[in-house]
Amino acid sequence: MNNISEYCIAEHNIRVVFTANDRNSPELIASFEPFRTKGSNDDFLFTLHVDDTLKPITKEHRERIDTFDTGNGDTIVDQLDNGGYQYILKDIEGRSCCLLQTNKDFSEGVCALNGNEQMRHFGLNNALMMLYAFRSSFFQTLLIHASLVRNNGYGYAFIAKSGTGKSTHTQLWLKHIPGSDLMNDDNPIVRVIDGRTFIYGSPWSGKTPCYRDVKAPLGAITQITRAKSNSIERLSPTIAFTYILPACSTMKWDKAVFRNTYDTVIKVIEISRYVYVLHCLPDKEAAEVSFNTLSAPHQQNITSPCQSKANSSKTRN
């Protein structure tokens, strides 16, 4: 009997159907458990069938796009005759962990997993992340490579190349900026909804197990660069675009997905307006400099306990 699991990630419903198999189950994706739902509806962002009997499409019905280094392995991409795609996902050791086939708009996918439990987890987790990123692009949604911290109800995303210090900086907020909490440490999700921008936790959080079903208005997006002193500057929309687009999961070779991502990045910049570059050291002052600047535009929307008490007194009088 098939195992059907449903999840709600950044207010998008997805469904994973596990064909009866003693090696594949929802236990492979434990990070999705905080996002599990029951009896949602038929309006799913996508459905992924996990079926190890899936076979590769023959060469005459596919065309090689390229092989891409994802940082934790290689992904081989072929386009199919019907406009869909076939992916072979390999881990850092070059082992084939997953064969994934999708339709043209990524609303349907089938994958076969391979290897031991660790390989199967890697393959399924990455197949779901790819499907989510590409399919959700049709709905003004971005999966971004960032570390995300929340303070006073707003989410602040820090982007940078791997190893630059995104996680280090958000940890400094947690240590030195009261009221801060970590929403996600690697792949948060940004959505445009009714003319507003929101940012969410996700099941994908890199090396830090921070899998939280949380949501906040987007406070700012900040590019981190290493420097000998701490300073921060607000970016023009044009420069902001050049920083944010490369941080998004997309496919340049798929015109529809890339155009969706391109347009949504522009919309996020238009609505949010607050995009910065932080030149910093990994120290307490860097956290204070960024917090003071990033939170300032939102202070008028935040009522301190002292203000609340004063307002209550005035009302009573």
Mean pLDDT score of the chain: 93
Calpha distance 217→150 (Å, rounded): 10
> Of 139, 98, 135, 132, which Cα lies nearest the Cα of 115?
98
Among 153, 167, 190, smallest CA distance to 269 is for 190
In this structure, what are the phi and psi dihedrals at residue 300, rounded to the nearest 5 degrees? -65, -20
Instruction: List pLDDT tens digits, range 98-118.
Output: 999 999 999 999 999 999 999
**Among 178, 155, 165, 176, which Cα is nearest to 280's?**
165
Q: How many Cα neighbours within 13 Å face the side chain of 180?
A: 21
Q: Which residues pair with 180 in a beta bridge?
A: 151
Helix (H), strand (E) at residue 155:
strand 154-159
Which domains can be identified in the chain, with CATH numbers? 3-138 (no CATH), 142-302 (3.90.228.20)
Which residue would you say has higher pLDDT here, 38 or 161? Answer: 161
Q: Which helix (H) or strand (E) holds 222?
A: strand 215-226
Instruction: Evaluate if pTM is beyond 0.85.
Output: yes
pLDDT at residue number 41: 66
Tens-place pLDDT, residues 152-186: 999 999 999 888 899 999 999 999 999 999 999 99
What digits encode the pLDDT tens for the residues 250-293?
A: 999 999 999 999 999 999 999 999 999 999 999 999 999 999 99
- Residue in the structure block whose two tokens are 């739902």: 37
